[in-house]
Structure 1
Amino acid sequence: MNNIYLMRSLMFVPAHNTKLLESAVKRNADVLLLDIEDSVPYTKKQKSRDNIKEFAKRTDLNGKLLFPRVNDRESGELLKDIYQLTIEGISGFMYPKATKGEDIYFFGKLLETIEYEKGLPIGTFKIIPLIETAGAVINIREICCSCTRVIAVAFGCEDYVTDLQGKHDPEGQSIMMARNLISIGARSCGVLPIDTVHIKVHDLEDLERNLILSKKLGFEGMLVLNPKELPLVHQYYSPTEEELVWAKEMLRLSEEAQQEGKGVAVKDNKFIGPPMVKMAWNILRKQELIELRGVIQ
């Protein structure tokens, strides 16, 4: 079940930079994406792995999930990444440049082989594919449904726009279709959709506009580049007081309707039906996860 994961914010941290790793411990991100890929020079790849091995032992992470972003299948570094980092403290891996379902199937089988060899329960390590190409957007549902390890899927807009040979625009029109398809494809497979980074990291007003749209599109969380974005990101991907009141009221009215033998009803001028009840449960479940994070912290 993917609704057991709290993924409002997934913050990138270059794993070769010990100063940034230390700083990340103090931040409130739900997930730390410990990067071994794009932000790490080739000569620092092994240093990044070594840093992550030590980082995963820390006892002050306060419930943060650790997902290293590994190198891609063609890099020659992937096997070293996952063989060394399939360790306690690591929840799974972000897999970059996924283009079709068989990429993720292959990666899942690779993890299964390593788990078997190390005597770990099969399925221990989860996968977050990163959607960065036009082909990946077209194949989004195939990617999401290719392996039961996939718990979320994230959008990488910079590589996508480059592959598309498109152009960023202030209104975000060039990425709107991709955002829609990724959210729809992910939800259709029971996978959490994670929105792209906000590239104007110092423009918090623009971030807020994007978050309002992102939530309307059905995204569960967002990739984060700068810690200053975290308060707004958490605000918009957390249930509001109004939503919590609505959810509790909806469940109360649903229970009354069931006692009256009605599956669908209008009570207190509110339409009560299965979709509303399901939405109410989703809101309250997310609030439970947020409160659990608070207890851990």
Structure 2
Amino acid sequence: MSDYLMRSLLFVPAHNQRLMDSAIKAEADVLLFDIEDSVQPVENKQKARDLAVKMISEGAFKDKVIFPRINDRESGQLLKDVTQLTIDGITGFMYPKAKKGEDIYFFDKLLETIEYEKGIPVGTFKIIPLIETASAVLNAQDICNASSRVVAIAYGSEDFIADLEGQHDLEHESLFVPRNMIAMAARACKVIPIDTVQVRVKDLEDLEQNLILSKKLGYEGMLCLNPIELSLVHRYFSPSEQDVYEAKEILRLDKEARENNQGVAIMNGKFVGPPFVLKANKILKKHQKITSKKNG
């Protein structure tokens, strides 16, 4: 299980001073300073880099986990992005439009070169690939395994639907298979699966339906476009009081059974086998991360 808490990843257009200021108070687990799609025209990308560096250097985001979404390798902006943004206060980068593992391997080596040049320990900056094409979905496991820097992968549904030439229906049926495949690829590679954005931004009822499905599919967090989503997102991706109580009880009964040579413990008429114990440990570890963040 990753050491990162990534229930919510909030996009913040990095050229927009007002939105950057408001992000200081946002309760998102991760801030995605956007240098890519939301920063237009292209002249604004340098403004976004400069503003991000200035505010981070001044300590505005000292307690935040920051992953700028940079531009892809074909944009002509990537080298500028990483040269300027490989600084203290940046945890890593969201890499867009990764189509195969080779893209992430290339980006890993670019980061390695810059770390060497700047005297930064190699491997400092982590990567979250953004899965946005049909090719990327089919290559998701390869993308996860392309670099030890990869800590999560995230689904970008709108670019995917455009690439697929499909339709984003109201029931989200067209997204079900790729969402499932991305979550499985992430879990198979022991990285965090992050679900796609809520397109109907202020429709909290639809967001809740998406969160219910997202959790069933194994996702651990969600990309967010608006701070109003954060409370609901955190509720669904955080263990409830009942979850924590049951996890502690499972571990207690398991320990008691082993100490008394009773074999497998029983709780509420169910055998407490190894999968239950594993899940209980994960729940308590996540609860501890959330508690530490609140107390921090």
Fold conserved (TM > 0.5)? yes
Structure 2: gaps spanning 5 or more residues: none
Code of the residue aligned with 2:80 in structure 1: it is K
Residues 28 and 230, structure 1, Cα contact 8 Å, conserved in 2: yes
RMSD of aligned residue pairs (Cα, Å): 1.2
Instruction: Give 1:173-188 correspondences, 5 Å limit.
Output: 173-188=173-188
Instruction: Give 1:175-254 correspondences, 5 Å limit.
Output: 175-254=175-254
Q: Aligned in 2, Cα 1:54/1:257: closer, same or farther, shift over 3 Å?
A: same
Distance 1:150 1:262 in 2: 42
Cα offset for 1:61?
A: 3.3
Q: Aligned in 2, Cα 1:62/1:29: closer, same or farther, shift over 3 Å?
A: farther
Cross-structure match for 1:130: 130
Distance 1:279 1:66 in 2: 28
1:36-82 CA-to-partner distances (Å, cap 9, x unmatched) read 00011201111111111112234453632100000011011101100
Code of the residue aligned with 1:100 in structure 2: it is K
Distance 2:211 2:80 in 1: 36
Secondary structure of the corresponding residue to residue 96 of structure 2:
strand
Cα offset for 1:220?
A: 0.5
Secondary structure of the corresponding residue to residue 129 of structure 2:
strand
Distance 2:21 2:150 in 1: 28
Report which stretch shifted further, 275-284 or 62-71. 62-71
Code of the residue aligned with 1:202 in structure 2: it is K
Code of the residue aligned with 1:85 in structure 2: it is L
1:12-47 CA-to-partner distances (Å, cap 9, x unmatched) read 000000110000111101100000000112011111
Cα offset for 1:258?
A: 1.6
Instruction: Give 1:112-151 correspondences, 5 Å limit.
Output: 112-151=112-151
Distance 1:11 1:106 in 2: 26
Structure 1: gaps spanning 5 or more residues: none
Q: Aligned in 2, Cα 1:262/1:111: closer, same or farther, shift over 3 Å?
A: farther
Secondary structure of the corresponding residue to residue 290 of structure 2:
helix
Distance 1:229 1:40 in 2: 22
Cross-structure match for 1:101: 101
Alignment of 1:40 with 2:59, yes or no, is no
Q: Aligned in 2, Cα 1:259/1:223: closer, same or farther, shift over 3 Å?
A: same
Instruction: Give 1:8-23 correspondences, 5 Å limit.
Output: 8-23=7-22
1:133-159 CA-to-partner distances (Å, cap 9, x unmatched) read 000000010001111000000000000
Code of the residue aligned with 1:68 in structure 2: it is P
Distance 1:263 1:122 in 2: 46
Residues 56 and 62, structure 2, Cα contact 8 Å, conserved in 1: no
Cross-structure match for 2:26: 27
Q: What TM-score results when the alignment is normalised by the length of structure 2?
A: 0.97
Secondary structure of the corresponding residue to residue 150 of structure 2:
coil
Residues 71 and 78, structure 2, Cα contact 8 Å, conserved in 1: yes
Distance 1:145 1:263 in 2: 37
Instruction: Give identity over the alignment, percent.
Output: 60
Residues 263 and 273, structure 1, Cα contact 8 Å, conserved in 2: no
Cross-structure match for 1:289: 289
Distance 2:160 2:45 in 1: 24
Code of the residue aligned with 1:30 in structure 2: it is D
Number of residues of Structure 1 aligned to a counterpart in Structure 2: 295
Distance 2:186 2:211 in 1: 18
Distance 1:183 1:228 in 2: 25
Distance 2:59 2:126 in 1: 21
Distance 1:62 1:27 in 2: 13
Residues 98 and 129, structure 1, Cα contact 8 Å, conserved in 2: yes
Residues 62 and 293, structure 1, Cα contact 8 Å, conserved in 2: no
Residues 63 and 293, structure 1, Cα contact 8 Å, conserved in 2: no
Secondary structure of the corresponding residue to residue 169 of structure 1:
coil
Cα offset for 1:264?
A: 3.2
Residues 71 and 81, structure 2, Cα contact 8 Å, conserved in 1: yes
